[in-house]
Amino acid sequence: MAEHRDNRQPSSSGVSRREFLGTVGAGTLGAALVGPAAPASEAAAPQADGLAPVTLLINGRPQQLRVEPRWTLLDVLRDRLGLTGTKLGCGRGECGACTVLIDGLPRYSCMTLALEAEGLEVTTVEGLMNGEELGPVQQAFVDEDAFQCGYCTPGQVVAAEGLLRGSPDPGLEEIQDGMSGNLCRCGTYDHIFKAVRRAVELRQSAGS
């Protein structure tokens, strides 16, 4: 999709992104970014070492990896690709901190096997940047002060992005329902709902 303009990895991220995503240890991640390349295989046949080759399309960029079948998409995003914007919260599909878009729809990456994402388009919070600028949904969360500790925020932002891709101008009830798969322990829900409305305006003025 046209929105995925930023294909670079967090190791080279600028200040604005680091501040926003709260990415830690970004400078040490470079080594983990490029795993041993393996030929793409649709059948994901496991090798003798139990690792299966897979090509994942992350933020518009193909990533060739070898993964254990039990690794979730979240495991791979954070621990193999260094895309630590996506957070591990409950690890059981209840809190939404790990939300990513898969083929444009919000899903829990902790409840998705990495092998199941093969052939699908995955978008993480890093993929919502416009170069070094925040994307409209990210900017809206800043504008509306829609977080306190910020841990759930990447998941909230991606869930809001998914909601607005499916329904560009939702009312409050639809926003509440669309954001109901994401918990915020700081309880900033009112600000989050305002941020989604603000994002509608920013997206409209950006013509996206």
Partner 1 sequence: MLPKFTYVRPSSLSEALEHSRSDGAVLHAGGTDLLGCLRDGVFPAERVVAMSGLEELRGISPTRDGGLRIGALTTLAEIAAHPLITERYAALAQGAASAASPQLRSQGSLGGNLCQRPRCWYFRSDFHCLRKGGAICYAIAGENQYHCIFGGDRCYIVHPSDTAPALVALDARVRLASPSGTRLLPMESLFVLPSEDVRSETVLQPGELLTEVLLPPPAAGQRSTYRKVRARGAWAFALAGVAVALSGADDRVEGARVVLSGVAPIPWRAVDAEELLTGGRLDAETISRAAAATVTGAQPMTRNGYKVELVRGLTEETLQTLALQ
- The residues that touch partner 1, with contacts defined as CB under 8 A, are 43-44, 46, 50, 52, 68-72, 75, 91-94, 96, 99, 102, 105-108, 111-113, 115-116, 159, 162-163, 176-178, 180-181
* Nearest residue (CB) to partner 1, 5 versus 165: 165
* Cα–Cα distance measured from residue 204 to residue 22, given in angstroms and rounded to the nearest whole number: 27
* Cα–Cα distance measured from residue 3 to residue 133, given in angstroms and rounded to the nearest whole number: 12
* Cα–Cα distance measured from residue 168 to residue 203, given in angstroms and rounded to the nearest whole number: 9
In contact, 100 and 123? CB cutoff 8 Å: yes
Give the tokens for residue 62: 């193909």
In contact, 87 and 185? CB cutoff 8 Å: no
Least distance between partner 1 and beta carbon 180 (Å): 4
Least distance between partner 1 and beta carbon 44 (Å): 6
* Nearest residue (CB) to partner 1, 13 versus 146: 146
* Nearest residue (CB) to partner 1, 6 versus 53: 53
Least distance between partner 1 and beta carbon 116 (Å): 6
First to last CA, the chain: 12
What is the Cα 47 distance to its own chain's centre? 29
Give the tokens for residue 43: 């059948």
Strands 52-58 and 121-123: parallel
* Nearest residue (CB) to partner 1, 25 versus 50: 50
For tokens 């990895």, the residue is 9
* Nearest residue (CB) to partner 1, 176 versus 208: 176
What is the Cα 128 distance to its own chain's centre? 8
For tokens 């046209």, the residue is 2
Least distance between partner 1 and beta carbon 20 (Å): 22
* Nearest residue (CB) to partner 1, 23 versus 112: 112
Least distance between partner 1 and beta carbon 182 (Å): 8
Least distance between partner 1 and beta carbon 13 (Å): 26
